[in-house]
Amino acid sequence: MIQFREIIIEDVPSINRWRNDPEVMQYLTNQFRYIGLEADRNWFAYYQQHRDQAVRLAIVDDAMLIGTVQLTQIDRVNQQAEYSIMIGEKNHQSKGIGRLATEEILRHGFNDLNLHRIYLTVLPENDRAIRLYESFGFQQEGLYRKALFKNGQFTDVMGMSLLRNEFQSR
């Protein structure tokens, strides 16, 4: 049974392991680079001090952390935030968990945080993620040409967004 909760310090070693796994990072809009556990502990401490700017949820299956789903860069004036997700446990990928987590965080963002717009970036070759986002009503806003250096080359990044009324009317 999938559950959601705020990330806690005990989650940091798993998150760090995923961020150091090239296979997990392959389809994300982050460059792969080795990140020390202490750097991720500092990242978590920063989050704890700035919780008004982000919602970082753990995705848990049977008490096991399997991923995270997040709203970051929360802008209260413009009522928008950036969405991201990572299913770090590979044996839990492609099982519909990303859909459940996306539904949960979008509902929370629009209904509880009173956001008007949620946006994301995605690699254009990540067809599975794009299909998921489009199924929720995300629309392509543009293409950032050769905006990310990944795997030894520059690659495009697609921007997408979803408005509250689009989410509620689907």
Beta strand 117-122 with 80-87: parallel, antiparallel or unpaired? parallel
Angle between helical axes of 127-135 and 97-107 (0-180°, round to 10): 40
**How far is the C-alpha of 164 from the C-alpha of 6, rounded, in Å?**
23
**CA nearest neighbour of 159 among 144, 145, 137, 147:** 144
The structure tokens 């050769």 sit at 146
Residues labelled catalytic = 133
Question: Would you give the distance in Å from CA 135 to the centre of its chain?
Answer: 16
